[in-house]
């Protein structure tokens, strides 16, 4: 790994002048968010520090989201992969097995297992597409999802809402735009990684 970028050591765990609440330390080399930092090369120490904090924040959030998903799945009584598939399905309410496989990167056989388990647990049903009887659509059971899944996340959603109240409308628009752009980045690199695996 490369040396610490200019000023990186002045931020402890990605927070200026203090310790991060998570207590996660930063191992040597991992504090570098990317191989090339224009800010550090230009000597803009504050910008370089912000880049490190930005990257560390994304990494921590990603890890915590995965841990939250695993803990929630255990609470609900399903596995983390099945919960993730159910979450993806919840955005539209219905998808074909092929669409869900493409969205998750799982094989058709794996998706069949996921749907079997979710159907047995009462979270989804398989139905014929009324517009094309050859297609089988996986339909979410909204009542069951709200009762057993949404209820687990309600305390966190309330905390998010309280947190968002601290921000102005313009600030929230910026945050929403940021998440939209991050989603594009993740989608692009999921495609990249899957392409590398297939090659």
111: domain CATH number is: 1.10.10.10
What is d(CA 63, CA 82) in angstroms, rounded to the nearest whole number?
18
pLDDT computed for residue 24 by the predictor? 57
Tell me which of 42, 76, 110 is where a domain ends. Answer: 76
What is d(CA 106, CA 111) in angstroms, rounded to the nearest whole number?
6
Query: Does residue 63 belong to any structural domain of this protein?
Result: yes
In this predicted structure, which of 40-54, 95-109, 135-149 has the lowest mean pLDDT? 40-54
Query: Does residue 168 belong to any structural domain of this protein?
Result: no
Listed residue (11, 12, 58) closest to 33, CA to CA:
58
pLDDT computed for residue 47 by the predictor? 80
DSSP H/E element including 152 = helix 151-164
pLDDT-derived band of residue 8, with 50, 70 and 90 as boundaries? Answer: very low
Tell me which of 52, 76, 100 is where a domain ends. Answer: 76
Its pTM stands at 0.75
Name the phi and psi angles at 139, rounded to 5.
Answer: -110, 130
Query: Does residue 33 belong to any structural domain of this protein?
Result: yes
- Whether the predicted pLDDT of 137 surpasses 50: yes
Q: Edge to edge, what strands does the sheet with 94-96 contain?
A: 94-96, 132-140, 124-129
pLDDT computed for residue 132 by the predictor? 83
- 37-93 pLDDT, tens per residue? 555 555 677 887 888 888 888 889 999 999 999 999 999 999 999 999 999 999 999
Task: Give exposure, 3-27, as e/b (b: 16+ Cβ within 10 Å).
Answer: ebbbbbeebebbeeeeebeeeeebe
Domain count, the chain: 2
Boundaries of domain holding 126: 78-141
């Amino acid at each position: 790994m490369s040396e610490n970028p200019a000023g990186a050591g002045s931020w402890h765990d990605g927070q200026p002048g203090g310790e991060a609440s998570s207590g996660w330390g930063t191992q040597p080399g991992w504090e570098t968010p990317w191989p090339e930092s224009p800010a550090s090369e230009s000597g803009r120490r504050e910008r370089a520090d912000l880049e490190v904090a930005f990257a560390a924040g994304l990494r921590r959030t990603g890890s915590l989201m995965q841990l939250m998903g695993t803990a929630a799945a255990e609470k609900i009584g399903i596995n983390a992969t099945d919960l993730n598939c159910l979450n993806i399905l919840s955005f539209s309410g219905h998808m074909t097995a092929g669409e869900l496989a493409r969205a998750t990167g799982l094989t058709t056989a794996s998706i069949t297992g996921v749907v079997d388990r979710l159907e047995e647990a009462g979270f989804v049903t398989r139905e014929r597409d009324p517009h094309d009887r050859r297609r089988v659509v996986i339909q979410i059971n909204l009542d069951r999802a709200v009762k057993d899944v949404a209820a687990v996340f309600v305390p966190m959603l309330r905390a998010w809402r309280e947190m968002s109240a601290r921000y102005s409308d313009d600030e929230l628009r910026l945050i929403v735009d940021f998440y939209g752009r991050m989603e594009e980045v993740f989608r692009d690199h999921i495609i990249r990684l899957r392409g590398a695996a297939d090659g």
